[in-house]
């Protein structure tokens, strides 16, 4: 547990106050004597003075046994979480011995125990919970680590020198340190790098999980080859270890040479994992591997620069996934994620720049803005300078900054030099929060086609006024027959208002923001016929999908609370897409999916309308029913055409067919009350098909399927996470809170396991908004009770879950009052963590 010292703990840190350390650490020698309740950590820090001033070390929840300077014991000056060393010499060795209790570490930060194995999580500031150190990313040191334990597998960073003895020759910050000890088994393989280095690869799991690692291993090897081929980056140690742990706050962690993963992003078999799980494994394995260069070899000077490694590495994992799978489908999926999470964040009280200027708790800034918008910023840069310019700039970045802790300025300077561009205005993407609105109006007169563009960046907390941004707008023009008459070009908009003109014989159809060329909200009114044209014929798959989405959204919004019939034109277009055998099934599945309830609520709010969660839910059901009726006679044959040949294969092509089949089964369930879904459930030979059918049956109100699923899968924790989540997600809104309550009382519900917690609480808020927003406020009360309870165990988890309340000002006065009462109750609770108290403070605004 955190030391209660709010006066010291709740101070904000500011980017502008950055100062380098006066005394640094160049080498770290660590000995661990592992014990669940009393682990001893002996540290020998080789220190060097770089300027005048005191050395201030970080330490948290440590029992300090001994401190010595150059061999002589000293009485340290310890104030809360800091140890201050005054008048340190120019070069010296600082030794400390501390005791920690991994078994009692429920925060899952520092050294803890998960499923019987010791493991660590040090990003962002967990190393200080292991030993005294300068726990900040601009202090880079080499490490020697000795692990003393009877456990058979003892791992740390770098190369193995002897059993339990590891040496990492690459200087790294504390946050990349890792240790694992346990009774583990590995799938082993090798990879030979382009530089001729033989690398031993291992995916370590608990006994019983072997046989579920081959996809992760395969993804790792493809990632290594891809980074060599596309970025010219080869791996740099003799071994690369991945370890799967069950209790983990995030997805995975890129510790040097020893990546630690949430087990749900490693373990997969056809019987237990869905296509979405496989895709996540591929993406996250790649992401963590890519960090070896973008994050580890070149790291961040301070935590304000987090996007430097995360935005870039997300961009790289997106590029990788586009190369491995369908480029179009991948891009659409990434845009959906960005809008669902980042636009929502940017539109509310938690909006912050890609590079924040201050924080109280850095863990609260591992956000969609830093990650996903950070990746969009890299993508825009690449569009502006072109693919070759991008490659030159990135090569310069690696050459110039290898081994350093850098800033966004260092990164941008490489582009300015390599590409001879001025990025002064572009840099606003890092400092101005909020999603720019781009208004586009076009007109045709006398052979002149004119596009008028206006940009507005809305105010966000602490930033009332914004300057115009540099926005790359990719667009193309089609004739009214749907033929492309001007191929994609990129116009970089820099002024608040601009226009473009073209001479042409007839009025064209504008395909704007191709490939989603910038993270903006586009306001471009268009006749239905033109949208239908784009949907049917645009050469840009993103704009095709987007046209369909706009049409669907306009209809849903019109139908909310109105019960209006859906027009035949739209339903015909939907049917044409569904039955278009020439189109990629994955694309058709995406195009048939309606905007989410949260997306609709956000759009209504944008338009100045107070969203009613129940009416939104009803309107979506109504539209699905209309789609189902329109397609009814075609569905069986369409689903047959989705059948895949042979054994389950997670590749994108087959996954796309299963996705389309699942979408159609969903519609079918509206017509047959679950008959087809029951057959599909019984016939399923893989978890993707099984979960699709399970969801349909839950929505159809099937009384027995949950019990049957449970008795089949009780023993499997990852599958049971799905069982918990599905029941909450697919409950009727009026039942959702009761279902969630009942599930938190289930014998397999474990509040110490973040995956299990998210499978109930996360599912309620993300997948069942009409349930969460029950008008009597019982969803809010239930949720706040859990936030408080979890906060005592795991503040990172409670703080992250609290973002469910970030949209509270969208809703009606009654709901706002109910939520506000819960926020007040949380804020007034004694002993709130720094994490949750910062979040609740910001959400209340
Ligand atoms: N750095 C990790 C990643 O993006 C995420 C992470 C952050 C994991 C903080 C743990 C703690 O890959
Ligand atoms: Zn990352």
**Has residue 349 been placed in a domain?**
yes
Going by CA atoms, what residue is nearest to atom 8 of ligand 1? 253
Buried b (16+ CB within 10 A) or exposed e, 480-514: eeeebebebebbbbeeeebeeeeeeeeebbbbbbb
Question: Does ligand 1 lie within 6 Å of residue 123's CB atom?
Answer: yes
Per-residue confidence (pLDDT) for residue 1, from 0 to 100 = 34
Tell me whether residue 604 is in a domain.
Answer: no
Q: Which atom of ligand 1 is nearest to the CA of 124?
A: 9
Residues 409 and 285 in one domain: no
25 CA from centroid of ligand 2 (Å): 25
Mutate which of 110, 249, 253, 291 for ligand 1 pocket (most atoms within 8 A of beta carbon): 253
User: Which ligand 1 atom sits closest to the C-alpha of 109?
Assistant: 11
Give the ligand 1 atom nearest the CA of 254: 12
Residues of the chain with pLDDT under 50: 1-8
Q: What is the 3-state secondary structure (H, E, C) of 34-89?
A: CCCCCEEEEEEEEEEECCCCCEEEECCCCEEEEEEECCEECCCEEECCEEEECCCC
Question: What does the alpha-carbon distance between residue 818 and residue 201 come to, in Å, rounded to a whole number?
Answer: 53
Last residue of a domain, one of 137, 152, 183: 183
Q: What is the pTM of this model?
A: 0.98
Q: Are both 316 and 406 inside the same structural domain? A: yes
Range of the domain at 238: 205-293
Q: Which ligand 1 atom sits nearest the alpha carbon of residue 295?
A: 1
Question: Ligand 1 within 6 A of 316 CB?
Answer: no
The model's pLDDT over 37-77, given as tens digits with 9 standing for 90+, comes to: 999 999 999 999 999 999 999 999 999 999 999 999 999 99
Q: Which protein residue has the closest C-alpha to ligand 1 atom 12?
A: 253
Catalytic residue among 288, 546, 699, 838: 288
Residues 315 and 287 in one domain: no
Q: Is 287 in the pocket of ligand 1 (CB under 6 A)?
A: yes
State the ligand closest to the CA atom of 124: 1
Q: In total, how many domains does the chain have? A: 4
398 and 324 share one domain: yes
Is 288 in the active site?
yes
The residue whose C-alpha atom lies closest to atom 11 belonging to ligand 1 is 123
| Cβ-based neighbour number of residue 633 at 10 Å | 8
What is the distance in A from the centroid of ligand 1 to the CA of 256? 13
The position carrying tokens 């798959």 is: 541
Cα 249 to ligand 1 centre (Å): 9
Residue 104 lies in a domain: yes
Last residue within a domain, chosen from 249, 267, 293: 293
Q: Which atom of ligand 1 is nearest to the CA of 291?
A: 12
- CATH number, domain with residue 21: 2.60.40.1730
Q: How far is CA 401 from the centre of its chain?
A: 27
Q: Do 161 and 113 share a structural domain?
A: yes
Residue nearest to atom 7 of ligand 1 (CA): 123
Residue with tokens 């099984």: 690
Question: Domain for residue 843, yes or no?
Answer: no
Least distant ligand from the CA of 261 = 1
- Distance (Å, whole) CA 301 – CA 140: 10
Ligand 1 in contact with 252 (CB < 6 A)? yes
834 burial type by CB count under 10 A (0-12 exposed, 13-18 middle, 19+ buried): buried
CA of 311 to the centre of ligand 2 (A): 8
> Helix, strand or coil for residue 112?
strand
- Nearest CA residue ID for atom 3, ligand 1: 253
For position 346, which CATH number holds? 1.10.390.10
CA of 479 to the centre of ligand 2 (A): 43
Query: Are residues 418 and 494 located together in one domain of the fold?
Result: no
Same domain, 5 and 152: yes
Ligand with an atom nearest the CA of residue 796: 1
Alpha-carbon distance of 357 to 13, in angstroms, equals 8
Q: ipTM score here?
A: 0.99
Out of 466, 495, 525, a domain closes at 525
Q: How far is the CA of 366 from the centre of ligand 1 (A)?
A: 8
In a domain, 572, yes or no: no
Residue 175 Cα to ligand 1 middle (Å): 10
What lies within 8 Å, CB to CB, of 260 at 6+ separation is: 119, 120, 121, 178, 180, 242, 243, 245, 248, 252, 253
DSSP string, 650-719: -SHHHHHHHHHHHHHHHHHHHHHTTHHHHHHHHH--SHHHHHHHHHHHHHTT-SSHHHHHHHHHTT-HHH
Any ligand 1 atom below 6 A from CB of 121: yes
Residue 128 and residue 94 share a domain: yes
> How far, in Å, from the CA of 361 to the mean position of ligand 2?
18
Residue 214 covered by a domain = yes
Query: Which protein residue has the closest C-alpha to ligand 1 atom 1?
Result: 253
Candidates 217, 193, 218; CA nearest to 203 is 217
Contacts 24+ apart (CB under 8 A), 66-73: 66/95, 66/96, 66/97, 67/94, 67/95, 67/96, 67/97, 67/132, 68/94, 68/95, 68/96, 69/93, 69/94, 69/95, 71/95
CATH number at residue 449: 2.60.40.1840
Residues 105 and 19 in one domain: yes
Same domain, yes or no: 20 and 128:
yes
Looking at the domain assignment, is residue 10 inside a domain? yes
Q: Residue with the nearest Cα to atom 5 of ligand 1?
A: 253
Establish if 831 belongs to a structural domain. Answer: no
Do 148 and 35 sit in the same domain of this protein? yes
**CB-hemisphere CA count at 13 Å for 206?**
14
Q: Is the CB of 297 under 6 A from ligand 1?
A: no
Dist. CA 101 → ligand 1 center (Å): 23
Phi, psi of 692 (to 5 degrees): -60, -45
Taking CA atoms, 382 is separated from 138, 283, 386, 541, 774, in Å, by 27, 21, 5, 20, 45
- Ligand 1 center from residue 244 Cα (angstroms): 14
Beta pairing partners, 156: 179
Position in ligand 1 atom list of the atom nearest CA 249: 10
Helices (H), 492-596: 528-537, 541-559, 568-579, 585-592
Q: Find out whether the beta carbon of 288 lies less than 6 Å from any atom of ligand 1.
A: yes
Q: Report the candidate in 524, 544, 526 with the shortest Cα–Cα distance to residue 535.
A: 544
**Cβ of 310 below 6 Å from ligand 1:** yes
Q: Which of 126, 252, 255, 290 to mutate to test the pocket of ligand 1 (most atoms within 8 A of CB)?
A: 252
**Ligand 1 pocket mutation, candidates 123, 259, 371, criterion most atoms within 8 A of CB:** 123
83 in the same domain as 2: yes
CA-wise closest residue to 725 among 678, 750, 759: 759
Q: Domain of 264: which CATH number? A: 3.30.2010.30
Instruction: For the chain, count helices (H), then strands (E).
Output: 30, 31
Res 562: pLDDT: 85
Which residues make Cβ contacts (< 8 Å) with residue 347, sequence separation at least 6? 434, 435, 458, 602, 605, 606
């Amino acid at each position: 547990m955190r030391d209660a010292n709010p006066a010291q703990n709740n101070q904000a840190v500011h980017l502008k106050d950055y100062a380098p350390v006066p005394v640094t650490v160049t080498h770290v020698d660590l000995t661990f004597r592992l014990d669940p309740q009393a682990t001893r950590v002996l540290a020998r820090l080789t220190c060097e003075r770089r300027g005048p001033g005191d050395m201030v070390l970080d330490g948290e929840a440590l029992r300090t046994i001994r401190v010595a300077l150059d061999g002589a014991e000293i009485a340290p000056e310890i104030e809360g979480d800091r140890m201050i060393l005054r008048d340190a010499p120019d070069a010296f060795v600082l030794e400390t011995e501390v005791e920690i209790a991994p078994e009692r570490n429920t925060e899952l930060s520092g050294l803890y125990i998960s499923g019987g194995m010791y493991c660590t999580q040090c990003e962002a500031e967990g190393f200080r919970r292991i030993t005294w150190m300068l726990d900040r990313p601009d202090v880079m040191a080499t490490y020697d680590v000795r692990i003393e334990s009877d456990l058979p597998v003892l791992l740390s960073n770098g190369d193995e020198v002897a059993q339990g003895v590891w040496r990492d020759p690459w200087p790294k910050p504390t946050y990349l340190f890792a240790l694992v000890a346990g009774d583990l088994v590995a799938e082993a393989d090798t990879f030979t790098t382009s530089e001729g280095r033989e690398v031993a690869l291992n995916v370590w799991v608990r006994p019983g999980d072997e046989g579920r690692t081959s996809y992760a291993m395969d993804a790792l090897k493809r990632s290594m080859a891809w980074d060599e081929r596309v970025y010219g980056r080869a791996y740099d140690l003799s071994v690369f270890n991945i370890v799967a742990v069950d209790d983990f706050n995030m997805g995975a962690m890129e510790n040097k040479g020893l990546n630690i993963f949430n087990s749900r992003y490693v373990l997969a078999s056809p019987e237990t994992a869905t296509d979405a799980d496989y895709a996540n494994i591929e993406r996250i394995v790649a992401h963590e591997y890519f960090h070896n260069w973008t994050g580890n070899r070149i790291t961040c000077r301070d935590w304000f620069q987090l996007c430097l490694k995360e935005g870039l590495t997300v961009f790289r994992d997106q590029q990788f996934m586009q190369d491995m799978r369908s480029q179009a489908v991948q891009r659409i999926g990434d845009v959906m994620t960005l809008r669902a999470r980042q636009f929502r964040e940017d539109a509310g009280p938690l909006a912050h720049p890609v590079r924040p200027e201050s924080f109280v708790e850095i863990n609260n800034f591992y956000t969609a803005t830093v990650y996903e918008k950070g990746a969009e910023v890299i993508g825009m840069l690449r569009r502006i300078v072109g693919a070759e310019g991008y490659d030159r700039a990135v090569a310069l970045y690696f050459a110039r900054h290898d081994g350093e802790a850098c800033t966004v300025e260092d990164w941008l300077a490489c582009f300015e030099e390599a590409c001879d561009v001025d990025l002064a205005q572009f840099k606003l993407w890092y400092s101005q929060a909020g999603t720019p609105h781009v208004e586009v109006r076009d007109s045709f007169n006398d052979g002149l086609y004119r596009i008028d563009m206006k940009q507005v960046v809305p105010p966000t907390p602490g930033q009332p006024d914004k300057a115009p941004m540099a926005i790359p707008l990719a667009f193309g023009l089609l004739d009214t027959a749907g033929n492309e008459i001007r191929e994609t070009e990129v116009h970089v908009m820099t002024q608040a208002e601009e226009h473009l003109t073209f001479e042409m014989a007839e009025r064209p159809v504008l395909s704007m923001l191709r490939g989603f060329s910038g993270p903006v909200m586009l306001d471009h009114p268009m006749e239905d016929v033109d949208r239908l044209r784009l949907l049917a014929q645009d050469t840009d798959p993103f704009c095709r999908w987007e046209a369909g989405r706009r049409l669907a959204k306009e209809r849903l919004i019109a139908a909310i609370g109105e019960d209006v019939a859906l027009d035949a034109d739209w339903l015909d277009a939907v049917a044409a897409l569904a039955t278009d055998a020439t189109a990629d099934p994955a694309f058709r599945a995406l195009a048939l999916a309606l905007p989410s309830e949260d997306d609709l609520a956000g759009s209504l709010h944008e338009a100045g309308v107070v969203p009613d969660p129940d009416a939104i839910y009803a309107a979506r059901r109504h539209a699905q029913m209309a789609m189902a009726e329109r397609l009814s006679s075609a569905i069986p044959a369409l689903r047959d055409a989705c059948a895949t040949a042979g054994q389950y294969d997670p590749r994108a092509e087959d996954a796309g067919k299963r996705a389309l089949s699942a979408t159609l089964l969903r519609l079918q369930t509206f017509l047959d009350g679950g008959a087809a879904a029951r057959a599909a459930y019984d016939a399923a030979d893989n978890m993707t098909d099984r979960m699709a059918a399970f969801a349909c049956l839950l929505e159809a109100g099937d009384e027995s399927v949950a019990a049957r699923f449970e008795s089949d899968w009780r023993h499997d924790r990852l599958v049971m996470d799905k069982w918990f989540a599905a029941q909450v997600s697919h409950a009727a809104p009026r039942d959702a809170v009761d279902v969630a309550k009942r599930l938190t009382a289930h014998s397999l519900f474990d509040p110490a396991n973040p995956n299990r917690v998210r499978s109930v609480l996360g599912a309620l808020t993300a997948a069942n908004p009409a349930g969460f927003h029950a008008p009597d406020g019982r969803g809010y009360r239930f949720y706040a009770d859990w936030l408080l309870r979890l906060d005592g165990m795991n503040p990172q988890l409670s703080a992250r879950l609290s973002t469910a309340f970030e949209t509270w000002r969208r809703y009606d006065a009654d709901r706002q009052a109910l939520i506000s009462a819960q926020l007040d109750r949380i804020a007034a609770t004694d002993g709130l963590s720094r994490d949750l108290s910062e979040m609740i403070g910001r959400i209340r605004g």
